[in-house]
Structure formats: structure tokens, C-alpha cells
Amino acid sequence: MLRVRKKSSLIFLLAIYILAGLLLIPVYKNQINPDGISYINISYYLLEGRYIDAINAFWNPLYSIFLTPFLLFFDKLSSTKVLSFVIGFFTLIGLRLLSNRYNLSKSLKDLLSLIIIPNLFYFAYSVVSADFLVLCFYIYYLYLVFEPTYYDKIGKAILIGLLGFFAYLARSYAFYFFIGHLSLISFTTFLRHASALIRKKIILSFVIGMTVFLILSSFWIGLVGLKYGKLSLGHEGGFVFASVAPDLKEPLFYNGLVKPVKNLDTSIWDDPIFLKKKSWSPLRSIDNLLYYLKLIYNNAHGIYVELAYFYHLSLPIVFGYLLYFLNLKNRSVRHRINLLTLLTFFLYPVGYILIYVEERFIWLNLVLVLFMGISLLQVVLNKLKFNALSRVLLLAIAVLFFTYYPIKKLVILASELKKGCIVCQTLEKEKVRNKNIASNHNWGFSLIYSFYSQSRYFGMTIPEADAQNILDELRRNNIEYYLVWGESNLDEKLKKNYQLIAEVRPENLKILKRKDIF
């Protein structure tokens, strides 16, 4: 009977997710971002059988591989949301499984699953990114390694290695995290057991999982190396590290127009490795070292800010969970799960702290804060006597606390997408399609609007260049439409060659068309 109730509650929660998720897809269908554009274009190379062109040193392939079959049945924007919906579905199941490791009561498992649904919708529909796919793999990976006897079967070790490989195939950062995290998990588990037999099993499980991971990963590393002539785990980290160099003038914004590399590319961002950036090292000078130490501090503070914005009591929850952990007996099962949760929470963002931080990079941390918070809630409910009304109020506060921010952000995003549609409709009305486009500013939105119109975006003209130099650059690159952002008046030289065909007031955007185009 208990098993039937557990299944029925999970089915009910999945039904809520499916119904609400399908209703939200049309609302957020038009959401797209530069990274998402690149993943979509790689999928089209796969559809055309151009597998060499689909190999990319910056964008790992798994998200695009998963996206490809959806493009056969849906338009490119809807495809990303349907894929995110599917990823969220399996992530929800994985989170339900993971909750079993925390020994939560059935009612709190149901509460956690209910709370996580708006969070999953935010992850799924707010941005097109491989980070959500990586999160899904991490949840199942943690479900396996958080089991007290994860090391007792070879099949589990192989599955752990596979999950690590899939995460890496989605995003390069997973390579470093998997090696560090599995090593740390194995080491702490090794120390907890005095039995020589169990210790041998732990070592064997580690060796098998790591071997599977490294062998499979080497195939992708080799493919990228063959195409670009240089072996690398992924060029994304090095590229981003070069982007945070002191006194850097970002080539995307300051080097002028750049032609997209391949015919299906929307912009140079589809293969940004071709954007040359100077390498730098914090060890080259004292100034560089001081700059880098400040960067690390700012990134660490940035993670705290992101956590605090998303869940306002994140820091007290983590601190409270740490205190609870310190008061537990060292050999208890609960002590182990608390230790592994805290180790994962603090280890995961380390690589990002060293380079660059965005909210989507720490979605795993947000999920772990949620698990910590619900675990502490169970402790409070068990330790203190609450009447039925007080318990309901406390649970309602928990729901509000963990869902307010993602719901708020989803509402704001829906409103912003309506504004963006005005520009898209204007471009469609003016029959801007399959054209060469450039802009004077606002690289991200200009790229997105170029993608909407199935055009190629050459980037931004050099800031503060005079009108003649801008005009020469537009001519050299055969720019047919020029997007001018801001309140400034158009230069007379520009007016002689480009005519104003539309002005979008809410966006402060003027759309110029070359006069020899009919």
C-alpha cells in the first residue's frame, strides 16, 4: 500500500509538471540567447550530415545532438523549449530519487518535488544552454555516489563513469569537476571504512569509473584535436580566461566587423575560437597577480550574490546545515550525506571562481541549497512541537521562499519577450531575411534579431569611429542592414548610403537599409 501511495504521488507531480510545462512552451517559445543560437546551428550541421563542421572546440556536442531530432518535428525555437521540457522531466525524476538519500519523510519529499517544479521551469525556459542538461546528469550521478555502498557493484562504477562522460560531452567544465569530485568522494569513503575488503572495492570502483570516463572522453578530445590541430580538453575555459585579462578590449566589441566562418553560422560566436585573444598569466607581474586575486574575490562574492538573490536565506541555510553536520555522530548515515552535500556544494563552483561566474553555472548549488533547506525543515519539525495549523504555515512559507524568485523571473521574462517581438515583427514586415546585418551597439540583441530573420550578423562597427570609417567598413563587408541603437542622430554620410526604414521606440532602435537594395 505504501509503495502504491509513493508511486501515485510521483505520478501526480509528474502530471503537474507535464501539464504546466506544455502550457508554458508557447509563452517562452521565442526566448533565445547567443549560446543557444550556436547550439541550434551545430544541430543543423548534424542534420545535413556535415559532421566535421559540427565538431566545435568551444561548444561541446551533446546538447546539439539531443536537439537534432526535435528539429525534424518542430521549428528551431520551439525545439529548444521542447528539449528543455524533456530534460526537466528526467531531472524531476532524478531529484525525486536523490531525495531518497536524505531520508526525508514522504510529505517533505512531495513538498521538495512540488517546490522544484517552478525552479525547473525557470532553468528550462529562461535560457537555451547545455547547463540544464549537465545538471540533469549531475543529479543522477549524485544519486549514485551518495549511496553508502555505491562501490559494491561494477555496473554502478561503469554507470558513474558514463554519467561523468555525458556531462563532459555537454560542457567542458564537467571534465575537471568529475575527476575532482569522484576522487574526493572515493577518498572520504575510503577513510570511513577500516575493512581491507571494502577499501579494495572502493579503489576498484574508482579505477573503473575513472577509466570509463577517461577512455570515452579521449574520443571527443581526439576529434577536436584532429580538426583544430591541437589537443585540448575544450577551448572554452582558455577563451574565457583570456576574456578576463586586465585592460582587455573584447574583440567582439572593439575589433570591428567579422564575417561568420561557415555558411550556416549566424555569427563568429558559432565558432569563437577564431577570435584571436592574447594569452595572459597572473604570474607575469605583481600587478597581474593582484588583479587576479581581486578577480577571484569578486567571483566568489558574485556566487554569494547569485545564491542570495535566488534564495534570500541561502547563506543561513548553508551555515545552519554545517552546524547540524558538526553535531552529528561521525559514523552515521546522515553524517555521510551531510558531508558529501557540503563537499559538493563547496567544490563545484571552484573552477568558475577562478575565471568567470554566471547564475546558470551554479544551478547545482541552488539545488543543493534546496535539499539543505528541506533537510533542516525536517529537523525543526521533528525537534519542535507544532500543531497542524503551524505546520501548514511553516510549509507554506517554505514553498513561497523557494519558488518566489524563479516565478518572478519567469513573469518578467514573459513581459520582455513581448517587447522583443516588436522588433521581430518589424524585421518581418520589412522583409529582412537572409541578409548581412551589422550594428553600432548592443551585440547580444543584434545577434538575436539577426537569427530571427535568418540573417548573418557581422558584429559591431568599431566604437567611436568616424562616419567615413564606419561606412567603409560596412561596404567592405557588404552589409545590407545596419542596426543603430541609441538616441543619437544619424550622420549625413550614413544617410546618403543607408535609408531609415523603421524605428522601434521602446528599444531605441533604428533599422537602416542600404539604398541600392530593392
- Full pLDDT tens readout for the chain, 518 residues: 445 556 778 889 999 999 999 999 999 999 999 999 999 999 999 999 999 999 988 899 999 999 999 999 999 999 999 999 999 999 999 999 999 999 898 889 999 999 999 999 999 999 999 999 999 999 999 999 999 999 999 999 999 999 999 999 999 999 999 999 999 999 999 998 889 999 999 999 999 999 999 999 999 999 988 888 777 766 666 777 878 888 777 778 888 899 998 888 999 999 888 787 778 888 888 988 999 999 999 999 999 999 999 998 899 999 999 988 888 766 666 788 999 999 999 999 999 999 889 999 999 999 999 999 999 999 888 888 788 888 889 899 999 999 999 999 999 999 888 776 777 777 777 777 888 999 998 899 999 999 988 999 999 998 888 888 889 899 999 999 999 988 767 777 788 888 888 888 777 888 889 888 65
**Cα angle 32, 35, 36; round to 5:** 40
Predicted confidence at residue 346, as pLDDT, reads 96
Report the pLDDT value the prediction gives residue 72, as an integer from 0 to 100.
94
CATH of the domain at 462: 3.40.190
User: Per the domain annotation, does 444 fall within a domain?
Assistant: yes
Residue 488, domain member (yes or no) = yes
Q: Are 321 and 376 in contact (CB under 8 A)?
A: yes
- Tell me, yes or no, if the pTM score tops 0.75: yes
C-alpha 349/C-alpha 368 separation (Å) is 12
Q: Are 273 and 228 contacting, i.e. CB atoms less than 8 angstroms apart?
A: yes
Could you tell me if residue 478 is inside a domain? yes
Quote the number of domains for the chain: 1
Tell whether 90 is covered by a domain.
Answer: no
Residue 208 lies in a domain: no
As a whole number of Å, the end-to-end CA separation of the chain is 73
CB-based contacts of 274, cutoff 8 Å, min separation 6: 261, 268
Look at residue 341 and tell me if it is in a domain.
Answer: no
Amino acid at 12: F
Could you tell me if residue 446 is inside a domain? yes
Domain-located, residue 502: yes
Query: Domain range for residue 477?
Result: 421-514
Which three cell numbers mark 107? 510529505
